């Protein structure tokens, strides 16, 4: 059984391991370099009053997914940005749905009006995930250069909370 709870600094190492496996596989995240637990903790510390971090854990308390929302400099103050990651091999099992249910509620509590998701255009799984949650396209960025030098297109989708 999967349970979603608020992420803490103690989850950072497990979250980094999960994310690094996704980065290493490639093709779905704009992140191209490995992250550390310190990176995750630093991200969690940015604007904590306007951010929310959730983890999905299994019966053994192993982190099998995580999601966060936070303000973003390219978005208006009524919007937050979202990032979602599910352990390789565990997608399609309801983990993302459970995470988004908690995150959507957190965004509303924090006073946001809408959530932005920016997804690589070649990430079919990510596009499908956000579309199935009710996100709709609102922006398209062509020729975005990732840290690795790879050039991709990105699609931004929005989910209105009100």
Map out the domains of the chain as residue ranges: 3-160
Pair 130, 112: CB distance under 8 Å = no
Structural contact between residues 9 and 44, judged by C-beta atoms closer than 8 angstroms = yes
Average pLDDT value for residue range 90-99: 86
Q: How far apart are CA 71 and CA 77, in angstroms?
A: 7
Quick: pLDDT tens for 24-56. Answer: 987 677 777 899 999 999 999 999 999 999 999
> What's the chain's length in residues?
162
Selected from 3.30.70.1140, 3.40.630.30, 3.40.80.10, 3.30.750.24, the CATH number assigned to the domain covering 3-160 reads 3.40.630.30
Q: What is the pLDDT of residue 93?
A: 74
Give yes or no for residue 119 having a pLDDT over 90.
yes
| Alpha carbons 20 and 12: distance in angstroms, whole number | 12
| pLDDT tens sequence across 55-75 | 999 999 999 999 999 999 999
85-98: average pLDDT: 87
Find out whether 19 and 35 touch, Cβ atoms under 8 Å: yes
Mean pLDDT over residues 109-127, rounded? 94
Query: Residues 85, 19: contact at Cβ < 8 Å?
Result: yes
Q: Has residue 7 got a pLDDT over 90?
A: yes
3-state secondary structure at position 5 = strand
pLDDT surpassing 70 at residue 131: yes
- In 3D space, the residue among 127, 129, 131, 111 whose CA is nearest the CA of residue 119 turns out to be 127
């Amino acid at each position: 059984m999967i349970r979603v709870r608020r992420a803490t600094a103690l989850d950072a190492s497990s979250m980094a391991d999960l994310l690094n496996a996704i980065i290493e596989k490639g093709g779905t995240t704009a992140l191209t370099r490995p992250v550390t637990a310190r990176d995750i903790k630093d991200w969690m510390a940015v604007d904590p009053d306007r951010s929310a971090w959730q983890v999905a854990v299994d019966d053994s308390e192993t982190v099998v997914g995580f999601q966060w929302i936070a303000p973003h400099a390219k978005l208006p103050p009524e919007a937050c940005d979202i990032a979602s990651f599910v352990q390789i091999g565990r997608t399609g099992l309801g983990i993302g749905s459970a995470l988004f249910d908690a995150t959507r509620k957190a965004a509303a509590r924090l006073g946001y009006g809408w959530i932005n998701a920016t997804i690589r255009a070649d990430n079919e799984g990510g596009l499908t995930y956000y579309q199935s949650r009710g996100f709709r396209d609102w922006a398209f960025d062509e020729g975005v250069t990732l840290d690795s030098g790879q050039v991709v297109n990105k699609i931004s989708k929005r989910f209105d909370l009100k």
